[in-house]
Amino acid sequence: MAITALPTPPSRSTPSDFSTKADAFIAALPVFVTEANAQAAALTLNDTTDASTSSVAIGTGAKTFTVTAGKSFQPGMWLVIADDAAPSTNAMYGTVTSYATDQLVMDIKTFLGTGTKAAWTISQSSPGGLIAGGALGTPASGVLTNCTGLPLATGLTPAATLISLEGLALVAGDLLYATAADTLINLTKGTANLKLFMNAAGTAPEWAAGLKVISFSRDISSYGVQAVTGVGFKPAAIIFMVSLVVDTSFMFTDGAATFSTSYQNGGQTGFFIVRSSSGNSAKFTLGSLDADGFTGTWANNAGSPVGTYSIYAICFR
């Protein structure tokens, strides 16, 4: 943008045309101010803002764009290159590798979206724009390329290493932990190997739902398989207890090894006994520890047991 030259200013040495020149000079000043302001805006904005019609696939690494010559792109400068049609969905963030004539070479660090686009808006950005407020965004590739300075849980090595974000379903406020293998784990959601920290819903510390006391009933004259649910998680160990007038029985199990004892029968393995009267009893043998409880089998142990009884179970995650 050109600035219109000001006319010759008036001079006291030529009083004959002083008024004419003064009027012209004063009249030209408003135009000069408008043009000067526009030129200043162009210098601060347009020199680092541009458009490109290069057909480029969204992704990380080296990317080359044909741009306007004479811009002020400098090596190391952070830029955001956004798809004109969907800038908030498809964009690439990176640093300038080189800029010569009309060729802008970028090192793309991270991105949003997918596909190959051919209408881009280029503008200056900053590294902080990649992780607004310290909250992680999940690019389409599922990787985070730079962990330096992120407010993650103790254990994360703040190094520029690739760390998987796939499957974490991150939202603002999630607490992450990095293993020695640089794999991120979402403590807030809870995962299969973090049951000590979270319940199944990921809404409370483990001990808020890591121990469950339940009861179930059985007509001990009826034999066969019984599945018990309602625990809320897969037990790692269970203590069974039944106390009757004629007997008291306990069984401890972790699903593999079991031990049980009763008033009249000590040192049983694999089952506990419910006795309705002397010489008449049924036994319960654990079959499996399930996602929401356990399954076992009832069988005759002695005589002809009768009656419906309640059995209590203390389940541990």
Chosen CATH of 211-316 out of 2.60.420, 2.60.40, 1.10.10, 1.10.3470: 2.60.40
**One-character DSSP codes across 250-306:** EEEESSS-EEEEESS--SB-SEEEEEEETTEEEEEEEEEEETTEEEEEEEEEES---
The CATH code of the domain at 49-130 is 2.40.10
Which residue, chain included where needed, has tokens 């059995």?
311
Q: What is the mean pLDDT of residues 38-62?
A: 80
Half-sphere exposure of 103 (CA within 13 A, CB side): 7
> Residue 174 is inside which H or E element, if any?
none
Residue count of the chain: 317
Share in percent of the chain as helix, strand, coil (round to 5): 15, 40, 45
Output the CA–CA distances (angstroms, integers) from residue 314 to 8, 186, 225, 236, 280, in the order listed. Answer: 99, 29, 20, 11, 26
Query: Which tokens in the block code for residue 175?
Result: 């607490």
Q: Return the sign of the alpha-carbon dihedral for residues 35, 37, 38, 44.
A: positive
Describe the strand order of the beta sheet including 211-219 as a list of residue ranges. 211-219, 308-316, 237-243, 248-253, 258-262
Q: Using one digit for the tens of pLDDT, what is the confidence trace for 144-184?
A: 444 444 444 444 444 433 444 445 555 555 555 555 445 55
Cβ contact 272:283 at 8 Å? yes
Residue 201 has a pLDDT of: 52
pLDDT band at 103 (very low <50, low <70, confident <90, very high): very high
Q: Where are the domains of the chain?
A: 19-44, 49-130, 131-202, 211-316
pTM of the model: 0.38
